[in-house]
Amino acid sequence: MRRLLIAIPYLWLLALFLVPFGIVLKIALSDAALAIPPYTPTLALDEGWQSVREFLSQLDLENFVFLGEDALYWKAYWSSIQIAFVSTVLTLLVGYPMAYAMARAPRRWQPALIMLVILPFWTSFLIRVYAWIGILSNEGYLNQALLAIGLIDQPLALLNTNVAVHIGIVYTYLPFLVLPIYATLERLDESLLDAARDLGCSRTRAFWSVTLPLSRPGIIAGCLLVFIPVIGEFVIPSVLGGSDTLMIGKVLWNEFFANRDWPVASAVAVVLLFILIIPIMLFQHSAMDKREVTA
Amino acid sequence: MKRMSPFNVVSLTVGFAFLYLPILLLVIYSFNASQLVTVWAGFSTRWYGELLQNEAFLDAAWVTLKVGLLSSVVATMLGTMAAFALARGGRFRGRTLFSGMVYAPIVMPEIITGLSLLLLFISLGVPRGVFTVVLAHATFSMCFVCVVVSARLSTFDRSLEEAALDLGCTPWDAFRSVTLPIIAPAVIAGWLLAFTLSLDDLVIASFTTGPSATTLPIKVYSSIRLGVSPEINALSTLIIGLVTVGILVASVVNKGALLGARNT
């Protein structure tokens, strides 16, 4: 019974999560063939060692060399990391004060406030990104409002720029950051703050030297929950970004659906995964720490 | 009771305005009579009427609902089992790998998950359609279910189960009459999360579906590429309305469990 309980989800994840990565790796290492599906060697284990050796000899790093030589890919990785980093910082700047204010709000309001943060998260991601097209476009509500109050004479070009991408990311990922930070702030022992005050700290000083360090686990978890998925984000740059918004998720999508070059798309995915391994492990570490604490 | 400082009040007001204003504008302008989305020309429900006559959207909605229901049920069963395996399984072999596989899909960019699953289905020669999307969605949402149920299991008082066993229950009876009722809110919350994740997914569905099964997000995505349209505003309003009502009802029915779900 216990074995079955472990085995079923285990095998499911092995078959549908781990094995597929193996296949991606394999295809990334193989040549593009003209046939469909466009990749060549398949491992035929029943033919014994001969086929394994043959298989290994066919593997090459051609696709990775190709990625390395073409500046487009490096630029796309680098710009994804930059966009993700800037957006994470912006999300933190908006989200931390919110989480802080929520934790300081009267107890009986807190469930309602949490609900208000969560609710947008449950409604469609795509729709929430779409909502910004109407706001940011040249004839959009924001430009209408700014023109009406006379702050600008000409509509600002916001849609199809990186500014729009940043706004979209902050907007859609905000709940991911607010909730973990709120969770740490809410548990914060207030007597520590009283102690800091008694010892002559100003409010500001107490915040910087007590509250902020103690909320670090929440900040780290929240930032990783934003940073990691944003690096591979596809929907936001393709809906709100412009033709010069370079993000690796978009490149991968085009490589796959437009150019139909599967080996290159796979190689792009493998490199992306390598970039993400360290942040993902950090995230798992913090998620498991949390489990240990609550257990 | 403490008074909130002006700074905190401002943070909350600005934060929530930022979160809700875009949705509010979308809803208001779905009742706009004009074809031009950004120019108000009077109240009308015209776009809702046109939406309900759009066969392509209705078909896509039906496919999405089917995929959502099937995948969320599978994900709930697998995710609950995984949560039990992690909480009660002890130190079995490959535990680290297992917990890694449970947490990784949560932050993994969808584009990688989608690509890898598609390549799996192709190398196995599985024809793509509703079935493959269900498998894909069940796989990533089971991880979310597992996290939600694990959170509940970690605060679970095991002596209750032990008491049931001491009083002569079989392990199955103890599970059914003690454990299940206690974790039920988390399981329901997990199911709801799996269901909404499936309804919402564009990227993984785009990779794993075939021409026979176009889901609603795929349909919506291809039409918003052409710009804003009042029909999409109407559709969005319907979806937002349904989800909001669903979440509010669920949260009243089992207070707290949903909050716990999102907190993990």
Q: Do B109 and A101 touch (CB under 8 A)?
A: no
Of A77-81, A110-114, B39-43, B196-200, the least confident: B39-43
State the pLDDT at residue A175: 92
Render pLDDT for A32-62 as a digit per residue (tens, 0 to 9).
Answer: 543 345 454 455 445 555 555 666 666 667 7
Distance CA B145, CA B19 (A): 26
Axis-axis angle for helices A71-104, A162-186 (nearest 10): 40
**What number is the average pLDDT over the span B21-42?**
84
Q: What is the Cα–Cα distance from A53 to B229, expressed in whole angstroms?
A: 57
A294 with B151: Cβ contact below 8 A: yes
Judge: B104–A284 Cβ closer than 8 Å, yes or no.
yes
What's B196's domain CATH number?
A: 1.10.3720.10
A250 in Cβ contact with A72 (< 8 Å): no
ipTM of the complex: 0.84
A239: nearest CA partner in chain B: B225
Whether A59 contacts A30, CB under 8 Å:
yes
pLDDT band at B205 (very low <50, low <70, confident <90, very high): very high
Q: Where are the domains of chain A?
A: 20-60, 70-294
Sequence-distant (≥ 6) Cβ neighbours of residue A103 within 8 angstroms: A110, A182, A185, A186, A188
Count: domains in chain B: 1
Question: Which residues face B32 on adjacent strands?
Answer: B43
| Spatial separation of the C-alpha atoms in residues B138 and B193, rounded to whole Å | 12
pLDDT value at residue A237: 95
pLDDT > 70: percent of chain A:
86
Cα separation, A209 vs B128, in Å, equals 56
At residue A32, what is the residue type? A
Residues A84-142 pLDDT 10s: 999 999 999 999 999 999 998 888 888 889 888 988 888 888 999 999 998 998 888 89
From the CA of B26, how many Å to the nearest CA of chain A?
6
A29 touches chain B (CB under 8 A): no
Q: In chain B, whose CA is at the least distance from the CA of A138?
A: B38
Confidence tier at B264 by pLDDT (50, 70, 90) = very low
* CA–centroid distance for A295 within its chain: 28
DSSP B256: T
**What does the angle CA A206 – CA A103 – CA A114 come to, to the nearest 5 degrees?**
155
Class of domain A70-294: mainly alpha
Q: Which residue would you say has higher pLDDT here, A295 or B211?
A: B211
- Which of B119, B220, B255 to mutate against chain A (most A CBs within 10 Å)? B119
Residues in chain A: 295
Residue by residue, DSSP assigns B52-76 as HT-HHHHHHHHHHHHHHHHHHHHHH
Contact B87, B150 (CB under 8 A): yes
CB contact under 8 A, A123 and B243: yes
B45 within a domain of the structure (yes/no)? no
Q: Is A109 left (phi over 0), alpha (psi -120 to 50) or beta?
A: alpha
Q: Which residues are B43's β-sheet partners? A: B32
Nearest to A269 among B100, B115, B120 (CB): B115
Distance from CA of B97 to the nearest CA of A (A): 9
Enumerate the residues of chain B whose CB falls inside 8 A of the CB of residue A228.
Answer: 107-109
Domain range for residue B177? 54-263
Torsion angle (degrees, nearest 10) of CA B214, B218, B222, B224: 140
Do B130 and B63 contact (CB within 8 A), yes or no? yes
Q: Indicate the average pLDDT of chain A.
A: 84
Of B37, B247, B262, nearest to A134 by CB-CB distance is B37
Peptide bond into B217 cis (omega under 30): no
Confidence of residue B262 (pLDDT cuts 50, 70, 90): very low
Q: Which of B12, B40, B206 to probe the A interface (max A CBs under 10 A)?
A: B12
Q: Is B142 exposed, middle or buried (0-12, 13-18, 19+ CB in 10 A)?
A: buried
Residues 32-91 of A with CB under 8 A from B: 37, 42
CA-based nearest distance B28→chain A, Å: 11
Q: Residue A170: pLDDT above 60?
A: yes
A277 reaches B (C-beta below 8 A): no
Asked if B148 and B260 count as a contact pair (C-beta separation under 8 A), the reply is yes
* pLDDT at residue number B195: 92
In whole angstroms, give the CA distance from residue B209 to residue B199.
14
